[in-house]
Amino acid sequence: MLLLVPDGPYLVKGTRFNSKAFATIFRSKDLRSASFGYFGHMWELYTVWAFIPLLLTHYAAKNNQPLNVSWWSFSFIAAGALGCAGGAIDLAVDYANERTQFGKPIGDYQMIQSSIAELVAEHHAAQLLVYRAAFLKDQGKPNQFETSIAKYYSAEAAVHATNEVMKIYGSWGFSTEYPIERYFRDAKSYQVVEGTSNIQKTIIAGVALGNTPNR
């Protein structure tokens, strides 16, 4: 697991990299597998996107190991999408249990239950895809195909989850009093950064049709 420990001034959006801010890297047995997630603040997302590949590349050079940064990037963006979707689902569950309408929690209504069940199932499927891609990477096996599937599906699931949760919140979903409006906007970024969803589909189709090897 890769742990980034702040050891100096925090980065804020738009600032240059301060080497003291992320100076400490802990290594537990092997740094081929890294854990990444969703923080919910754009400057923190900006920091992760900008400097995780830099740190991984530094580690690879120091230990004389080759590293394909692009597939690492796909993996941690997929993991971030997982966190975004999972956080949105947690918000939906809490709100569905708290919000009452016609004398009972809205979570008692079948339409809300249907939406939450659908999102939970998609989230669990995305988890398995991301974990499979990470496992193959850990084992040093070809994983381009699996990583693109994980990145594509987790990004789409995050957008779907946040969109549906916005509906559950109703007009309150657009208010900054609730965090789901930020999740909704952030989720769209996962369809764009480190290879758009359309690019992932091109990669997936290329391997599936036998036109591209699974590296």
What integer pLDDT is reported at residue 195 of this predicted model?
87
Q: How far apart are CA 212 and CA 206, in angstroms?
A: 5
> What is the DSSP secondary structure assignment for residue 62, as one 8-state letter?
H
Positions marked active-site: 194
Q: What is the pLDDT of residues 88-128, one digit of tens each?
A: 999 999 999 999 999 999 999 999 999 999 999 999 999 99
In order of 37, 181, 184, 190, 199, the CA distances from 130 in angstroms are 12, 25, 21, 14, 17
145 pLDDT higher than 90: yes
In order of 98, 141, 148, 158, the CA distances from 101 in angstroms are 10, 52, 42, 27
Q: Where are the domains of the chain?
A: 2-208
Q: What is the pLDDT of residues 35-71, one digit of tens each?
A: 344 444 443 444 444 445 555 555 555 555 544 444 5
What integer pLDDT is reported at residue 165 of this predicted model?
97
Q: What is the pLDDT of residues 150-205, one digit of tens each?
A: 999 999 999 999 999 999 999 999 888 899 999 999 999 999 988 899 999 999 99
- Into which CATH architecture does domain 2-208 fall? Up-down Bundle (1.20)
Average pLDDT over residues 10-30: 34
What is the length of the chain? Answer: 215
Q: How far apart are CA 31 and CA 148, in angstroms?
A: 21
Q: Which residue has the tokens 């496992």?
A: 135
Q: How far apart are CA 213 and CA 162, in angstroms?
A: 34
